[in-house]
Structure 1
Amino acid sequence: MKRDSRLSGVLHVLLHMAEREGPVTSEALARAMCTNPVVVRRIMAGLREQGYVRSDKGHGGGWSLACDLSTVTLRDIYDALGAPSLLAMGHRTEAPGCLVEEAVNAALDEAFRGAEARLLARLGDVTLAALSADFHARLLARGGTHDLENAHAS
């Protein structure tokens, strides 16, 4: 089963962008993320509509942050992505009318709703600034420097 990693990828890109002085092209972001620039542009366009990033055209243009990292939570970005499904699990619906299936599905639905509510609450507690601070602590501990173009080089 394929997992939806858009939230992780977008958070990744946003933190890389936070380390840059100026705009970053879709091509540079795509190279760093090992994806296609079209994918980057599509996702970034959605974030632009929500006011999290902006785009500048022409020479020296690209994507840049348009938000304060301390005011944006992981939940905000999750919502901006269209609130993709959090849980890959579901329940059977092959025997409608089966009382056992109804009992199992009711219990699972309640458990799934509770798990999603807790996860969404946790996402709402973590800001992009907290992620950035964690990144900087890790960078300092490693004694490295940040370079988007080479951040993922082996």
Structure 2
Amino acid sequence: MSANSRLTIAAHALAWIGLYQRQGHEVATSEKIAASANTNPVVIRRLLGELRRAGLVESRRGAGAGWSLARELGSITLLDVYEAVEAGPLFAMHRTTPDQGCVVGHGIQPAMRGIYQDIEETLRHKLARVTLEKVLRDVLAAPRQPL
């Protein structure tokens, strides 16, 4: 089972756009953001589309096309980003109903549902406490590794 990187890539894109704008640029292209994240620009455009629908970024078409922040980094939390790019619950139940005649099959989903709700509540609480401003500060403070 592979880990989902959508939240990380979306946070990367927002922090990158924020820094780019602070350096005096109005808009950022998905190609430049993708180069920083070392991914395909299509991946970045899809995520930015979701962030736009959530009101976190704006896009400009035509001459000078690109992406800009719709809000300051200090007013965007990781929970805002998570809710914009992560569809559905963090954990899922079985794809098919377990054997209800089995004691474990009958009780596993209610038991796990309660555990998952607690985990999701904790995750949301922690993500709500971290702004993208803090993420960018931590990025800029991180020691650079030699290539």
Q: Same fold (TM over 0.5)?
A: yes
Paired position in structure 2 for 1:60: 64
The reply to whether residue 38 of structure 1 matches residue 42 of structure 2 is yes
Aligned length: 142
Q: CA-atom RMSD, angstroms?
A: 2.5
Question: What's the TM-score, normalizing by structure 2?
Answer: 0.81
Paired position in structure 2 for 1:17: 17
Gaps of 5+ in 1: 145-152
* Cα displacement (A) at 1:90: 4.3
Paired position in structure 2 for 1:48: 52
Return the alpha-carbon distance in structure 1 between the equivalents of residues 140 and 43 of structure 2: 27
> Which digits, 9 at most, give the CA deviation of each residue in 1:18-68, with x for residues without a partner?
111321111111222222222211221221122211112234331111111
* Cα displacement (A) at 1:129: 1.4
Question: What's the TM-score, normalizing by structure 1?
Answer: 0.78
Matched-pair contact (CA < 8 Å) for 1:75–1:124: yes
* Cα displacement (A) at 1:105: 3.0
Gaps of 5+ in 2: none
1:33-112 maps to which residues of 2 (within 5 A)? 33-87=37-91, 90=93, 93-112=97-116
Relative to 1, partners in 2 of residues 1:123 and 1:53: Cα closer, same or farther, differing over 3 Å? Answer: same
Paired position in structure 1 for 2:6: 6
Identity percentage of aligned residues: 36
Instruction: Tell me which amino acid in the other structure corresponds to 1:5.
Output: S
* Cα displacement (A) at 1:100: 2.9
Q: Which segment is superposed worse, 21-30 or 89-98? A: 89-98
* Cα displacement (A) at 1:77: 0.9
Return the alpha-carbon distance in structure 1 between the equivalents of residues 86 and 119 of structure 2: 19
> Which digits, 9 at most, give the CA deviation of each residue in 1:105-139, with x for residues without a partner?
3222211111111111111111111212222332x
2:119 aligned residue (115, 121, 127): 115
Matched-pair contact (CA < 8 Å) for 1:78–1:84: no
Return the alpha-carbon distance in structure 2 between the equivalents of residues 58 and 99 of structure 1: 62
Matched-pair contact (CA < 8 Å) for 1:69–1:129: yes
Relative to 1, partners in 2 of residues 1:56 and 1:100: Cα closer, same or farther, differing over 3 Å? Answer: closer
